[in-house]
Amino acid sequence: MTTTTARSFDVGASDEVPERGRLVVTIDAGARTVTVGVFRFRGRLYAYENVCAHQGGPACQGRIVSRVRERLDAQQRSLGTVFDEDTMHIVCPWHGFEYDVTTGRHPGRPDYALRAVTVDEEDGRVRVSV
């Protein structure tokens, strides 16, 4: 039985991932070569493999946008749609699948999810483990 140990890679400086921004890198790690999107929301970093759960599109290279919600009044009448600024979605550019960056999950079908990748931040550097 072969065991593999995750290896940590320095992928860039912290300021290369601004708030509500991203850094997409390919890490050549032999059989584990992977393209990863690193995102920052409210100061914290999140990282996912750049493969959509739908048809495998480059989900990490799509639009970054807040979740759209519909407001209702007390009588359940629609007041129209608004951006929820307390959220950050990444959108796969192939077909529009949206993922909450804090969970990697589709808001309506949470079992459709991006594969999370371990990311850390230390001394102004971003490190991804694959």
Residues that bind other proteins (CB under 8 A): 9-13, 22-29, 35, 50-52, 55-58, 61-65, 91, 93-96, 98, 123-125
Q: Which is nearer to other proteins, 1 or 31 (CB)?
A: 31
Q: Which is nearer to other proteins, 1 or 82 (CB)?
A: 82
Q: Which is nearer to other proteins, 10 or 86 (CB)?
A: 10
| Dihedral over alpha carbons 111, 109, 83, 17 (to 10 degrees) | 20
CB 90 within 8 A of CB 98: yes
Closest approach of Cβ 5 to other proteins, in Å?
16
User: CA 50, CA 117: separation in Å to the nearest integer?
Assistant: 10
Closest approach of Cβ 63 to other proteins, in Å?
5
Which 8-state DSSP code applies to residue 21?
-
